[in-house]
Structure 1
């Protein structure tokens, strides 16, 4: 009896394990997986992965267990059937007619969802109650639909995990949670990036075929339903399995490895998604190593001429009220540029501009998301654990690059070709005193091409020129921060602009089109009266990919950055290691600004500057200094790597890539470990206490 009643679970479970195994094998051979595995490690990954899958399936089958628990013929007998139906109708009327019902108190669409669910339940229960001769057919149909939905979710999740891994080299994380929130952009991105119709037809065909197979093998289990005693036995057994699964996942999800790909391939994506969904912020003081707070602040602030948080920056030269245009470029890795060894010639304009600029040749992004890059350029602070400050509730009235410009009488704007509500950019920039120009400000005739992320960069360039012309007429200097969008999957752009067609959807095309758009922007800017009095800062927000053998692969954080101003900035290469957070303080130094600073980045041309950089994911926090990479992670873990640089023979001033060799605990440079902890602990503390506000 017991074996017969769990046949649907066994068939679905077996299918889930097979799909998960296929997915792991695909990950092993995926080009993004740049690690090699021994035979025993492969076996271990497969076994641990299978265990994870079994535990997850037990939890995921809870809905199927509830479905079987409520299957019964006796509930349709008089008077029970009519009582139940009457109760369902009363609940429906309560939700429909009572303005302040319990469901509406939760806000959102909870009330509508509850009303739809109860309404559907009334229809199905009525059919089963009043058509007893067709009851088995109706039940079989509902059972088939239930199986279909389960199989569809299994197949769809596998496809989703593949595409997510294909993009990021990871199972689900914070980004996947964001994708659920920003459904319009994400669904649009998928529609424009992949052959959606054939893909969904294949998914549907596989789902239908597997559902028919499982249905035929298990439908006879609905002929004889378990009695109340048998249901309690089955329910007790299932509750026990759920408890074991929760305990098991608590252990297996904590298994760590020196190889990030090992951890990701053996993991199951659903627990990782749940963890990311419930941990969008990580309390530094709960999860990370600490030292005495006073000592941490003393260590961190010792790098500044005035070792205090609020410092007076004083120049010996007169201030220069030049216009400033900060262009942060979407996903532009350093190795896309010829200066860093690329031979594809996909950034001809940026490479030519670099030779006329102050170029920072060894600069690192703080993170692997746009919001991290915007945070670094706007707040000039190291990244903190969890989600970017831009996406947190307490994200307003901060000390920002915009607030410094405003104190000098500048017009301050944020320009974005998409809808700036995405990634909470509108809330953050408006809440910090920026005016916003985004897709909402475009007239239809101003848009020649757009995809889900926004108008083409060329259209945004024209809008930027229009905006700057209007600003210049006011007599005030302006600071405009423009975030590009075209170099992002699906990499679509107007045809006929570059030698790579826009409908090919290649990353190289996206890079080259953005480079083309920047050329057009500068060609237009040169014709304007304000051009010669303007400084341009061009920098990437982050690299195109962040996957690598270690938690924070160095080559996946290195980005190009340059400051250009004709007749003002002398062309040169700054070759010391620096961070994204140092760029704007350096610009303020070039403009001889006097101001009170709370920036944690430094002007790299001051004698106090110490070459270093901060790199991070949402939980791993890294510090680069003196050819060491130190990483702190939950729960209070510390790893350290030595970095072996290699020279670029074509461009000797550009060091290229690194070998990262992990040190044993006793070999670690403890001074740098303390510096790492001091930097991130102090930043987290000051943010928590609102000490980085204006």
Structure 2
């Protein structure tokens, strides 16, 4: 078909397009095979998946063909085969094929990690080249893979030459008139896709995997690059702002709360818990361990059977253990947003990575109200994902493995480096968990000597690909997979607590342990509920008996619950509730990804998607299946209210500290 459209002068361009289409088809087949148990494999759906994919491949390759097609029509016949023509042609062909091959390899690694085509995560990763390249190098045999790419490139060029495609391209009598048809075809396709076709148009199926397989990675990447943030009011269903605030205030109010300015579009309120006689305020040190990528399913105490978390399983019997708590998102920065701001997820990027993310009312402000010093500990360079500027810009001291990246000039905070002599093991994402805990112990000792109550926020890194850690610590070899990463993470927590128990500050220190998100959010649905369930516990709290709390709750509720347990009176701008005081009607969880925003209540899931799409499901917990239902208008209104108010507050500085 291509040969009929393209005359002799366009022979190489036809080969270039054909190669892209063939490799893209092969990649699509590979993704289908890897995800065969998750896809809808009915005949017509699979055929539709590949047809949609082929159309997006055509649109994608048209953008790459555009510069060369313009070159071909502009270069006169007398220059065919000249040195200039050969240099341009060989260089463009080689570069284009190299980009294709590299992108296909990158897509494979991305799919293995996220089971999705390129999205905004891939765009973000471009900013943090050091960590990403080092992680890929530690996770995959890069020299071998690069060699394979070069070999395939050489083979393609060799076959192209053997078939005389270069010769035909350089020696022909194609006239300007002959060149008009292919030029018009390529330009027309590129214009249609550039102006009218969006990446979301590939999502023609109910199954998420079919939608992802139908996409083209390069096209998805540039679509994500253009729309890294989504305007809630433009893309999602809305209600009147005043109504939205009224609904949210009704849902978050409590007998012990009082809104400061109830007529304004804000949620600032005072919360009263203390009773000087029966329930005095407690002011223990607080150490929060945020565990990288730990799904509930990996803990025996939450239904797993892998026997790789003995420490956490043991602690679950000695703690307030929240067995039905859900992360708000699928990335570390989304977890940090939920934990520190206690806010439902807003569409697009996490607030941690956005503008206007400093001087906010975070949990650090509440600790500050109580006289605490707050510190953020990270084993890598906190420049990654903008963590240092976010935490530093919101009152936290920074302790990280910095490599010289400076904080924003408007961030006035103390930054402490993890020195070389404090490191026993390090990979792409930072020092091992044992090393970060050793640094925490040193800083806690110093704070204790200065008689300063402290709040330490620790972000672990060892449970992250490439899953490498010090040898000889556990019975799973380093770098062999996630099970080893989890078991080492658990081992490091055990070692940390053993050392902490020898410290004079231990008896007056509460340990809060919770994951940032699950190991994977991939599933058949855009929001697979069970993929958001995470472990959470509060350990070593004075006068608090161990207890399992089975109430449906959210990551945003953890610190409001802790503040209530400590009997603190404070001013709040947080959405979270006290889980211990929740009634059945209060129970809910917010779960989302960068485009889909969900509210889960009593096995009913309402999902808001861009293009103002709404879906309502009943959750079958036994098989994690979602059954579509007619939309419940009352729950829809509540779902819209929470997400609309969260977005409104961010965009109108309602998350900022009050003067």
Q: Does the pair score TM above 0.5? A: yes
1:218 aligns with 2:162: no
Offset at residue 689 of structure 1 (A)? 1.2
Of 55-64 and 210-219, the range deviating more from structure 2: 210-219
1:313 aligns with 2:276: no
CA contact (8 A) 1:144 1:211 kept: no
Q: What pairs with 1:530-569 in structure 2 (closer than 5 Å)? A: 530-565=505-540, 567-569=542-544
1:676 to 628, 635, 639: 639
CA contact (8 A) 2:290 2:459 kept: yes
Of 336-345 and 367-376, the range deviating more from structure 2: 336-345
2:206 to 229, 235, 258: 258
2:431 to 430, 436, 455: 455
CA deviation digits over 1:232-287, x for unaligned, max 9? 77645543342244356349826432111111111112222122111121111000
Gaps in structure 1 of 5+ consecutive residues:
77-134, 647-656
2:553 to 563, 574, 578: 578
Structure 2: distance between partners of 1:22 and 1:226:
33
Structure 1: distance between partners of 2:600 and 2:582:
19
- Match of residue 377 from structure 2: 415
Structure 2: distance between partners of 1:244 and 1:444:
55
Query: CA 1:191–1:237 in 2, change beyond 3 Å: closer, same or farther?
Result: same
Query: CA 1:406–1:172 in 2, change beyond 3 Å: closer, same or farther?
Result: same
Q: What pairs with 1:255-404 in structure 2 (closer than 5 Å)? A: 255-303=203-251, 304-305=253-254, 306=258, 308=262, 309-315=267-273, 316=275, 317-404=279-366
Bigger Cα Rg: 1
Structure 1: distance between partners of 2:395 and 2:535:
28
CA contact (8 A) 1:615 1:621 kept: yes
Structure 1: distance between partners of 2:199 and 2:354:
30
Task: For residue 91 of structure 2, give the secondary structure of its aligned residue in structure 1.
Answer: helix
Task: For residue 605 of structure 2, give the secondary structure of its aligned residue in structure 1.
Answer: strand
- Match of residue 603 from structure 2: 627
| TM-score with structure 1 setting the length | 0.86
Of 520-529 and 637-646, the range deviating more from structure 2: 637-646
CA deviation digits over 1:18-53, x for unaligned, max 9? 111111111111148523310111111111111111
Structure 2: distance between partners of 1:244 and 1:286:
23
Structure 1: distance between partners of 2:247 and 2:83:
74
| TM-score with structure 2 setting the length | 0.90
CA deviation digits over 1:342-373, x for unaligned, max 9? 22211111111111000000000000000000
Of 551-560 and 160-169, the range deviating more from structure 2: 160-169
CA deviation digits over 1:462-494, x for unaligned, max 9? 011001111111112000000000100010111
Structure 2: distance between partners of 1:251 and 1:195:
32
Structure 2: distance between partners of 1:2 and 1:574:
68
2:621 to 627, 637, 645: 645
Structure 2: distance between partners of 1:558 and 1:227:
64
Task: For residue 404 of structure 1, give the secondary structure of its aligned residue in structure 2.
Answer: helix
Structure 1: distance between partners of 2:143 and 2:241:
56
- Match of residue 613 from structure 1: 589
CA contact (8 A) 1:585 1:601 kept: yes
CA contact (8 A) 2:292 2:460 kept: yes
Offset at residue 72 of structure 1 (A)? 5.4
- Match of residue 467 from structure 2: 491
- Match of residue 405 from structure 2: none
Gaps in structure 2 of 5+ consecutive residues:
403-416
Q: What pairs with 1:217-256 in structure 2 (closer than 5 Å)? A: 217-220=164-167, 221-224=169-172, 235-246=183-194, 249-250=197-198, 253=201, 255-256=203-204
Query: CA 1:478–1:318 in 2, change beyond 3 Å: closer, same or farther?
Result: same
RMSD of the alignment, in Å? Answer: 2.1
1:60 to 64, 79, 87: 64
1:8 aligns with 2:12: yes
Structure 2: distance between partners of 1:255 and 1:527:
56
Q: What pairs with 1:184-199 in structure 2 (closer than 5 Å)? A: 184-199=130-145
Task: For residue 321 of structure 2, give the secondary structure of its aligned residue in structure 1.
Answer: strand
Structure 2: distance between partners of 1:174 and 1:266:
18
